[in-house]
Amino acid sequence: MIVKKLPLGPIGANTYILGDETSKKAILIDCTGDCLEIKKALDNDNLNLVAIFLTHGHFDHVLGVNDIKKIYPDVKVYINKEDEVLCQNIAVQCAHFGINSCDVPKIDEYIDENSKFDISGFDIKAISTPGHSKGSLCYLINGELFSGDTLFYTEIGRCDLFGGSFSEIEKSIRGKLFVLDDKTIVHPGHGQDTSIAYEIKHNAYFGENSRY
């Protein structure tokens, strides 16, 4: 599986391009901005974009959705319905951070952790991880975890934004993520990669050596 990370948008949130070398199909995890940069990266590997999986509905992870759909009109966009309200109120979110707004992102299908996906070359499991937002999803794809803003390198997603809850993010990380194979690579929504094993030991909030 090809994995490319593109920090894009006004605060450099990570868009991930995942490509299958055989089928040449590609999916995005989040769509954070600069559709031309995303298209260039797809074209460089002759990949055909078929789907966008959104980890949650905060503005910095969805700002590029409508622009990329203009280039790839058949691409399907997925998100948890719990974050529909965030998408509908993207202008309020952007104003809160002094960011230029965009139109409400166009969502094709609402999903949860029971949803099934049939995309050649990808074994995709959605994991419900509320806490950073009500509808936060992590995606376990071909054995690698795309954690959105739930779990970062030694850190966790902030819980003081729209739909956040510290108690929920603790349950999500301890009960849903830390039980995964500890060799699992973690690709977060901001910053550098980590692993489940490393976070179990070193995460500042919930690791064995927690400082809080």
Q: What is the pLDDT of residues 39-85, one digit of tens each?
A: 999 999 999 999 999 999 998 999 999 999 999 999 999 999 999 99
Using DSSP's 3-state secondary structure scheme, residue 27 falls into strand
pTM of the model: 0.95
pLDDT higher than 80, residue 158: yes
Q: What is the pLDDT of residues 22-31, one digit of tens each?
A: 999 999 999 9
- E strand or H helix that includes residue 37: helix 35-44
Q: Looking at the domain assignment, is residue 113 inside a domain?
A: yes
Nearest CA-CA partner of 7 in 58, 56, 61, 86: 61
Q: Looking at the domain assignment, is residue 84 inside a domain?
A: yes
Number of domains in the chain: 1
- Give the list of residues 6+ apart from residue 36 with CB closer than 8 angstroms, or none: none
pLDDT higher than 90, residue 153: yes
β strands within the chain, DSSP E: 2-8, 13-19, 25-29, 48-53, 76-80, 109-111, 124-128, 137-141, 144-148, 151-152, 155-156, 185-188, 194-195
Q: Looking at the domain assignment, is residue 207 inside a domain?
A: no
pLDDT for res 174: 97
Going by their DSSP bridges, the two strands 137-141 and 124-128 should be labelled as antiparallel
pLDDT for res 61: 94
Q: Looking at the domain assignment, is residue 17 inside a domain?
A: yes
Between residues 83 and 102, the one the model is more confident about: 83
pLDDT for res 69: 95
Alpha carbon distance 159, 140 (integer Å): 22
Q: Looking at the domain assignment, is residue 212 inside a domain?
A: no
What confidence tier does 203 reach under pLDDT thresholds 50, 70, 90? Answer: very high
Q: What is the pLDDT of residues 107-147, one digit of tens each?
A: 999 999 999 999 999 999 999 999 999 999 999 999 999 99
Q: Looking at the domain assignment, is residue 189 inside a domain?
A: yes
The token pair that represents 72 in the structure block = 């790839």
Q: For a pLDDT cut of 90, what percent of the chain falls above it?
A: 84
Between residues 155 and 103, the one the model is more confident about: 155
Which domain does 7 fall in, by range?
2-202
Nearest CA-CA partner of 137 in 162, 115, 155, 159: 115
pLDDT higher than 80, residue 212: no
Alpha carbon distance 139, 123 (integer Å): 10
Q: Looking at the domain assignment, is residue 16 inside a domain?
A: yes
CATH code for the domain in which residue 86 is found: 3.60.15.10
Q: Looking at the domain assignment, is residue 145 inside a domain?
A: yes
What's the chain's average pLDDT?
A: 94
